[in-house]
């Protein structure tokens, strides 16, 4: 079962400036993470990259993965490596 969760409007506003192909990949990857961990918290940041961070709490230190979106690509990062 898919857990639907809307993207925060402020984040969506910034996301809309990205390439449509990048947006499509981000949305699919985000949904995959939410499906695996439906109770996760999504923390949103905009620094050098537009970043969605997934955490077991509301603290960045408890994050287990992130999706930073750059101009021409995005990454999937694991904050604690193989842990």
Predicted confidence (pLDDT) per residue in 43-61, tens digit? 999 988 999 999 999 998 9
Is the pTM value of this prediction over 0.75?
A: yes
The tokens of 4 are what? 């639907």
* pLDDT at residue 81, rounded to an integer: 81
DSSP string, the chain: -----PPPHHHHHHHTTS-HHHHHHHHHHHHHHHHH-TT-EEEEEESSSEEEEEESSSSGGGEEEEEEE-SS-B--B-TTTT-
Average pLDDT, the chain: 92
Burial 34-64 (b: 16+ CB within 10 A, else e): beeeeebebbeeeeeebbbbbbeeeeeeebb
* pLDDT at residue 79, rounded to an integer: 87
Report, as ranges of residue numbers, the positions in the chain whose pLDDT lies below 70: 1-3
Domain ranges of the chain: 9-69
């Amino acid at each position: 079962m898919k857990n639907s969760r809307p993207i925060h409007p402020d984040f969506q506003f910034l996301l809309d400036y990205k390439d449509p192909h990048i947006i499509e990949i981000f949305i699919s990857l985000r949904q995959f993470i939410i499906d695996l961990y439906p109770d996760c918290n999504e923390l949103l940041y905009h620094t050098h990259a537009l970043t969605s961070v997934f955490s077991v709490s509301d603290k960045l230190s408890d994050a287990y993965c992130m999706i930073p979106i750059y101009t021409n690509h995005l990454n999937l990062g694991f904050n604690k490596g193989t842990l």
